[in-house]
């Protein structure tokens, strides 16, 4: 079964965000990793770069396809999950945990409210499937 | 395109039950992989154990009638005139310009009796082409919708076949294919061929429709101890790519000759066939593009359509690319001008606006024990 972590925020391109103070931890949802299939490579986003919500920050490569990943929130990338260089499959195995992708220092912490709550994301997924 | 109904194989409901994820391929709704395994695991299963594929989307023709042997030999460029009963041969259909209409497999069932397997996307085109070049009393029949085609591939495929074939195993060792039956689905009259598209030991099995579910289930049941898995088209593609096998519509098409695609070794220039003259001319003049196999030296996954560079100069395009599950590297094939095609040359593949370094290698990418 597809899981949706209840405490996270979700972007329409299937990224999730976990807010701690002014920092946003982000990754892709279980739905997204399942749709991509086995993830085999990603070029990690560059630390120090300023990104705008909704813009592409990297591509995720699976055995099936190449899929762009979008910044769910605006700010500066302050850290990336270096472990994914060697073990990109962590995104499949633990999308909300060990498969996190980056941390953004948010430009405007209120921007997170533009994202979907877990229940809104669930409704959104149901609509996407139909 | 949308008006054409999506075709489903006879095993579609079974695939659904097995948790298949589907992909539309040449108008057919086919499993890309199954739930709980994924392309990487399915790939690995075929390399180390055994896997079962439904490839019923591929076209299947029966060719018979007095004199059809000689007619077929004049149509295709490979030495079908040398085939004996029980032989299988990789072949092609070429047009008058010498470019590839399709790559096909020919099985000789007996004197003036052949079975042909063609690509799903080219089925109608091939049928019309063959029909147009055959004469009375040759009869060509499209039996695609009356039969199913399964592939059993992997090093343990023989252990499995031993359990389900009713006769002495010597017989299939002697021939490339036999007409037989799969136990316990008795009386099903299947055709078992020692062929495949994975580079592993394996078999392709043509079964008449009423029995295909029984045959599929018998193979899965007999393979239980051998860790058999059903395999989708995703792994079929990564498996063939690791062996450097061409795929129609990618490495070969109507703009490409077998010489350019490195398939000239299959051609018999001692006989007459459609497209021979332009090929002889091309051999004399030299080709302007050549198929290469390359392996990335850095992380990344090359894909069809990406540009290939030699230094700053764009020299060609990728025709197939993916991540090699065995090598754990990006690999691909593509066409470049011959002067850039030397084995060992360094090239760059433009992946998301960065130049990923790669080296040209001799196929196959993957060999057993490496």
Predicted local distance difference test score (pLDDT) of residue B173: 66
Predicted local distance difference test score (pLDDT) of residue B328: 96
Q: Is the dihedral of CA A73, A77, A82, A86 positive or negative?
A: positive
Q: Which H or E run contains B125?
A: helix B123-133
Query: Nearest CA to CA, how far is B46 from chain A (Å)?
Result: 16
pLDDT tens digits along B226-275:
999 999 999 999 999 999 999 999 999 999 999 999 999 999 999 999 99
- Packed helices B157-164 and B212-222: angle between N→C axes, nearest 10 degrees: 120
Which CA distances in Å does B337 have to B21, B244, B287? Answer: 39, 19, 8
Question: What is the chain B residue with the closest CA to A33?
Answer: B38
The predicted model gives B3-10 an average pLDDT of 84
pLDDT tens digits along B66-76:
999 999 999 99
Q: Do B303 and A63 touch (CB under 8 A)?
A: no
Percent above pLDDT 90 for chain B: 85
Residue A63: which of B234, B299, B300 has the nearest Cβ? B234
Number of C-beta neighbours around residue A68 at 10 A: 12
| Model confidence, pTM | 0.93
| Chain B neighbors of A92, CB-CB under 8 A | 38
**Interatomic CA distance for residues B290 and B263, integer angstroms:** 11
Residue B175 has pLDDT above 80, yes or no: no
Residue B188 has pLDDT above 90, yes or no: no
Residue B129 has pLDDT above 70, yes or no: yes
Q: Do A41 and B39 touch (CB under 8 A)?
A: no
Q: Do A38 and B330 touch (CB under 8 A)?
A: no
The predicted model gives B88-116 an average pLDDT of 97
Domain A9-108, CATH: 2.40.50.100
| Residue among B149, B194, B186, B195 at smallest CA distance from B164 | B186
Confirm if A118 and A96 have CB atoms less than 8 A apart.
no
Q: Mean pLDDT over all residues of chain A? A: 95
Question: What is the chain B residue with the closest CA to A87?
Answer: B328
The predicted model gives B87-103 an average pLDDT of 97
Confidence of residue B44 (pLDDT cuts 50, 70, 90): very high
Confirm if A27 and A80 have CB atoms less than 8 A apart.
no
A97 touches chain B (CB under 8 A): no
Tell me if residue A97 falls in helix, strand or coil.
coil
Q: Do A41 and B303 touch (CB under 8 A)?
A: no
A37 touches chain B (CB under 8 A): yes
| Chain A neighbors of B301, CB-CB under 8 A | 40-41, 61, 66
The predicted model gives B36-45 an average pLDDT of 94
According to DSSP, the β-strands at B51-54 and B229-231 are parallel
Confidence of residue B289 (pLDDT cuts 50, 70, 90): very high
Confirm if B69 and B80 have CB atoms less than 8 A apart.
yes
Predicted local distance difference test score (pLDDT) of residue A103: 98
Predicted local distance difference test score (pLDDT) of residue B368: 82
**Residue B174 region, left (φ>0) first, then alpha (ψ -120 to 50), else beta?**
alpha
Q: Do A41 and B330 touch (CB under 8 A)?
A: yes
Residue B318 has pLDDT above 60, yes or no: yes
Query: Nearest CA to CA, how far is A24 from chain B (Å)?
Result: 26
Question: What is the chain B residue with the closest CA to A85?
Answer: B299
Predicted local distance difference test score (pLDDT) of residue B132: 97
Peptide bond into B265 cis (omega under 30): no
pLDDT tens digits along B322-350:
999 999 999 999 999 999 999 999 999 99
Q: Transcribe A24-85 into DSSP letters.
A: EEEEE-HHHHHHH-SEEEE-PPPTT-EE-TTSEEEEEEESS-EEEEE-SS-EEEEEE-THHH
ipTM of this predicted structure? 0.89
Cα-Cα-Cα-Cα torsion B288, B104, B47, A67, nearest 10 degrees, comes to: 60
Predicted local distance difference test score (pLDDT) of residue B1: 46
Q: Mean pLDDT over all residues of chain B? A: 93
A63 touches chain B (CB under 8 A): yes
| Chain A neighbors of B354, CB-CB under 8 A | 43
Q: Per-domain residue ranges for chain A?
A: 9-108
pLDDT tens digits along A30-39:
999 999 999 9
């Amino acid at each position: 079964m597809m899981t949706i972590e209840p405490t996270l925020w979700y972007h329409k391109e299937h990224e999730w965000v976990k807010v701690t103070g002014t920092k946003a931890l982000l990754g892709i949802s279980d739905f997204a990793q399942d749709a991509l299939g086995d993830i085999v490579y990603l070029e990690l986003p560059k630390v120090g770069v300023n990104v705008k919500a909704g813009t592409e920050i990297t591509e995720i490569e699976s055995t099936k396809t190449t899929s762009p990943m979008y910044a769910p929130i605006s700010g500066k990338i302050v850290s990336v999950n270096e472990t994914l260089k060697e073990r990109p499959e962590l995104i499949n195995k633990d999308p909300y945990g060990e498969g996190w992708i980056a941390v953004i220092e948010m430009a405007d912490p209120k921007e997170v409210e533009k994202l979907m709550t877990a229940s809104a994301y669930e409704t959104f997924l149901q609509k996407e499937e139909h | 395109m949308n008006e054409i109904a999506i075709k489903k194989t006879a095993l579609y409901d079974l695939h659904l039950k097995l948790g298949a994820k589907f992909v539309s391929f040449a108008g057919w709704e086919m499993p890309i992989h199954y739930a709980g395994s994924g392309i990487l695991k399915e790939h690995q299963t075929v390399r180390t154990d055994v896997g079962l594929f439904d490839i019923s989307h591929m076209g299947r023709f029966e060719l018979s009638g007095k004199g059809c042997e000689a007619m077929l030999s004049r149509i295709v460029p490979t030495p079908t005139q040398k085939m004996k009963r029980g032989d299988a041969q990789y072949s092609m259909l070429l047009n008058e310009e010498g470019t590839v209409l399709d790559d096909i497999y020919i099985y000789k069932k007996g004197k003036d009796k052949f079975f042909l397997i063609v690509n799903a996307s080219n089925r109608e085109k091939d049928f019309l082409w063959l029909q147009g070049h055959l004469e009375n009393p040759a009869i060509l029949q499209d039996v695609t919708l009356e039969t199913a085609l399964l592939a059993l591939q992997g090093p343990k495929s023989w252990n499995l076949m031993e359990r389900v074939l009713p006769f002495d195993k010597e017989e299939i060792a002697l021939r490339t294919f036999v007409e037989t039956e799969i136990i316990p689905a008795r009386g099903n009259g299947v055709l078992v061929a020692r062929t495949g598209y994975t580079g592993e030991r394996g078999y392709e099995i043509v079964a008449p429709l009423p029995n295909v579910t029984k045959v599929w289930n018998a193979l899965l049941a007999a393979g239980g101890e051998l860790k058999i898995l059903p395999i989708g088209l995703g792994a079929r593609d990564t498996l063939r790519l690791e062996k450097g096998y061409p795929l129609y519509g990618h490495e070969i098409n109507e703009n490409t000759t077998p010489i350019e695609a490195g398939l000239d070794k299959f051609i018999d220039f001692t006989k007459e066939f459609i497209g021979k003259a332009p090929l002889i001319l091309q051999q004399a003049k030299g080709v302007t593009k050549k198929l290469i196999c390359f392996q990335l030296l850095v992380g990344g996954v090359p894909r069809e359509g990406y540009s290939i560079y030699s230094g700053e100069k764009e020299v060609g395009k990728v025709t197939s690319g993916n991540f090699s599950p065995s090598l754990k590297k990006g690999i691909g094939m593509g066409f470049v001008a011959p002067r850039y095609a030397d084995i060992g040359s360094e090239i760059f593949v433009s992946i998301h606006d960065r130049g990923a370094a790669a080296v040209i290698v001799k196929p196959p990418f993957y060999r057993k024990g490496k």
